[in-house]
Chain A
Amino acid sequence: MNPIQNFFDKQRKHFEPGGRLAPWEPFYEAMERVFFASPETSPQAPHCRDSLSVQRYMMLVIIMVLPCLLFGIYNAGYQSFKAAGQSADVWTMLWFGAKIVMPLVIISYIFGFGWEIIFSAVRKHPISEGVFVSAMLFPLTLPPTTPWWQAAIGISFGVVIGKEVFGGTGRNFLNPALTGRAFLYFAYPVQMSGDAVWIVVCQNGNRIVDAISSATPLAVASTVKASGTAETALTQAGYSIQTLFIGLYPDSIGASSVVLCIIGAVVLMIWGVASYRIILGDIFGVLSVGYLLNLLANDGSMPYFSMNPWYHLLIGGTAFGFAFMTTDPVSAPDTHAARWVYGYLIGALTVIIRVFNPAFPEGIMLAILFMNIFAPLLDQIAVKVKLKKRIANV
């Protein structure tokens, strides 16, 4: 027999009613479900025959986010050595990057999962795999130099206030990872503003300077002098289309690589996990508002107005947010028509906030949260419209 199954079979008796660890039964359940499908079957009809359970659903998302994490680790190491003016082989960079990034991911998991265990033990609901996704997405939206305690506070807020007070996964109305991220953004604006990003600088593999900052593509594009264009300014600052596409530049840990986000989004769409309506809506939103601004641009307006709208898809967190955040099945609308509108408005708001709001260089995070609020309203409108079209039952 499989040793892992042996182990779980041996431990089961402690967690069954009357066992000495009975209150922690949800924890046992969750750990078992990481390795095995649940043995439980639903006792009465309807019997769902689809194998896409919440567990598998969430695991598929995590699998597609992992490349972004790996790239983020490599990128963190790469930027450190680059800033120090040294060269190193891939493994050294990966190792150094892992030392920067992995603590954040581990802390996020310890706290996110910890709160989930506490709540499920006290409130007697099963542990949901949703928290694995939230705890994975959250650190990827952080800059690599986020203090560890801030990561802990952020994920705690996201999981507890964003989700657990409503009863756990599937009952919340905001994306928990983004709730935590937005909380950090407003609570510690100095470290999180998004116009500059910090790189850990190393010498021979040790930290020498804690951080130096460099302007992100968003800051470059929004502060171009009136004489130039945003595209040339970006290229001069070292952000050519290729760099932006591959993602080897300092940014949030997981959000820089557009190509990996595209791969993730496409695979998730093919698997039926992500809604293609939302993602296409997002892209239409960005492009249409971008082109509209191009039309409005005249000699006196900011060069940001006349930037090629495709750039908006490359810079900042748009790709990451569109692929993994807007498609969150819980906080997005449930009807097809509403999904198009939801996606479109997220894209449109993102560009509007980027260009018009000097307080926030990046708009995607709050645009998604904002539309999460209106997702139920869009659903209700979609249903109402559909009901009106129905021929009266005479």
Chain B
Amino acid sequence: MENLLSIFVNSALIGNILLAYFLGMCSYLSVSKNLQTSLGLGLAVTFVMTITTPVNWLVYHYLLAPGALAWARLPDTDLSFLKLVLFIATIAGMVQVVEMVIDRYSQALYNGLGVFLPLITVNCAILGASLFMVERRYDFWETAVYGFGSGLGWLLAIVAMSTVMQKLRYADVPAGLHGFGIRMIVTGLMAMAFMLFSGITL
């Protein structure tokens, strides 16, 4: 239990997947214009991550890892070179489901997210969580907590970013820094403040 708690805090705050590993930047930078949309995208990413990371764990440990196919009497097969392709396939399938649900129940959010909703498929944070989970040799429940925590960390970052950008809407930014320039600077400053937690060992 303590272990799970530490993984949760680690993934949500200390090793925030966005502000410590800088994964999933593209949609973070483009969608963080207002609280409602970014909260929607953040929840969608959290949802997808919470589901796909454990599913990918199952895929990896029962299909791909060296010796994983022992249950099919193929103990010598090593399919781990397929993990990128299969992980993405799982994520894409999940995103399809989420997209249909949002389209059905919240048209406003669907329009607000626009192309970034299908693009969650290639959100590096989600693939990153799946790959990190393999690297760090988490077991199933650790992976589930890790996926959820990383998603929440991403949500926290994009929500904070969107409110900061709202506060900055009257800012007088030099012409050369309009748009992405100032967003990158804000992200950097936010990452500096998030260093608050770096160094905590649980």
* Interface: A143 (CB within 8 A): no
Interface band, chain A: 35 or more
B-contacting residues, A341-394, CB 8 Å: 349, 353, 356-360, 363, 366-367, 369-370, 372-377, 379-380
Q: Are A167 and B193 in contact (CB under 8 A)?
A: no
Interface segment among A71-79, A179-187, A281-289, A321-329: the answer is A179-187
Residue of A nearest to B172 (CB): A167
Q: Which residues of B contact A167 (CB under 8 A)?
A: 171-173
Q: Which residues on B are within 8 Å of A, measured CB to CB?
A: 35, 159-160, 163-164, 166-168, 170-174, 177, 182, 185-186, 189-190, 192-201
Per the bound structure, the CA–CA distance linking A179 and B192 in Å amounts to: 9
Q: Are B195 and A366 in contact (CB under 8 A)?
A: yes
Apart from the given pairs A173-B168, A372-B193, A373-B190, 18 other A-B contacts in the complex at a CB distance below 8 Å: A165-B174, A165-B185, A166-B168, A167-B171, A167-B173, A172-B171, A173-B164, A173-B167, A179-B189, A182-B192, A183-B192, A357-B196, A357-B197, A358-B200, A374-B160, A377-B160, A377-B163, A380-B166
Chain A: minimal CB distance from B9 (Å): 10
Residue of B nearest to A330 (CB): B167
Q: Are A168 and B168 in contact (CB under 8 A)?
A: no
Q: Which residues of B contact A379 (CB under 8 A)?
A: 163
Instruction: Return 11 A-B CB contacts under 8 Å, by A number.
Output: A165-B173, A165-B177, A171-B168, A182-B193, A183-B192, A359-B200, A360-B199, A367-B196, A369-B192, A373-B160, A376-B166
B-contacting residues, A160-197, CB 8 Å: 161-162, 165-168, 171-174, 179, 182-183, 186
Per the bound structure, the CA–CA distance linking A373 and B182 in Å amounts to: 15
Q: Are A165 and B182 in contact (CB under 8 A)?
A: yes
* Interface: A336 (CB within 8 A): no
User: Top 7 closest A-B pairs, CB basis?
Assistant: A359-B199, A167-B172, A376-B163, A366-B196, A369-B193, A376-B167, A377-B163
Known: A349-B196, A369-B193. A377 touches B168 (CB 8 A): no
Residue of A nearest to B189 (CB): A174
Out of A125, A363, A367, A380, name the residue touching B163 (CB < 8 Å): A380
Chain A: minimal CB distance from B188 (Å): 8
Q: Are B185 and A370 in contact (CB under 8 A)?
A: no
Per the bound structure, the CA–CA distance linking A379 and B160 in Å amounts to: 11
Residue of B nearest to A183 (CB): B192
Q: Are B174 and A370 in contact (CB under 8 A)?
A: no
Q: Which residues on A are within 8 Å of B, measured CB to CB?
A: 123, 125, 161-162, 165-168, 171-174, 179, 182-183, 186, 349, 353, 356-360, 363, 366-367, 369-370, 372-377, 379-380
Q: Which residues of B contact A182 (CB under 8 A)?
A: 192-193
Chain A: minimal CB distance from B89 (Å): 36
Q: Which residues of A contact B185 (CB under 8 A)?
A: 161, 165
Per the bound structure, the CA–CA distance linking A172 and B198 in Å amounts to: 25
Q: Are A161 and B189 in contact (CB under 8 A)?
A: yes
Residue of B nearest to A168 (CB): B172
Known: A123-B174, A125-B172, A161-B185. A359 touches B167 (CB 8 A): no
Chain A: minimal CB distance from B186 (Å): 8
Per the bound structure, the CA–CA distance linking A357 and B186 in Å amounts to: 25
Chain A: minimal CB distance from B77 (Å): 44
Q: Are B164 and A370 in contact (CB under 8 A)?
A: no
Q: Are B190 and A186 in contact (CB under 8 A)?
A: no
Q: Are B199 and A377 in contact (CB under 8 A)?
A: no
Per the bound structure, the CA–CA distance linking A162 and B189 in Å amounts to: 8
Per the bound structure, the CA–CA distance linking A174 and B170 in Å amounts to: 15
Residue of A nearest to B13 (CB): A370
Q: Which residues of A contact B196 (CB under 8 A)?
A: 349, 353, 357, 360, 363, 366-367, 369-370
Q: Which residues of A contact B177 (CB under 8 A)?
A: 165
Chain B: minimal CB distance from A45 (Å): 21
Q: Which residues of A contact B192 (CB under 8 A)?
A: 179, 182-183, 186, 369
Residue of A nearest to B160 (CB): A373
Q: Which residues of A contact B170 (CB under 8 A)?
A: 171
Q: Are A356 and B200 in contact (CB under 8 A)?
A: yes
Residue of A nearest to B188 (CB): A161
Q: Are B168 and A357 in contact (CB under 8 A)?
A: no
Per the bound structure, the CA–CA distance linking A360 and B190 in Å amounts to: 18
Q: Are A174 and B172 in contact (CB under 8 A)?
A: no
Residue of B nearest to A384 (CB): B35
Q: Which residues of B contact A161 (CB under 8 A)?
A: 185, 189
Q: Which residues of A contact B164 (CB under 8 A)?
A: 173, 373, 376
Q: Which residues of B contact A359 (CB under 8 A)?
A: 198-200
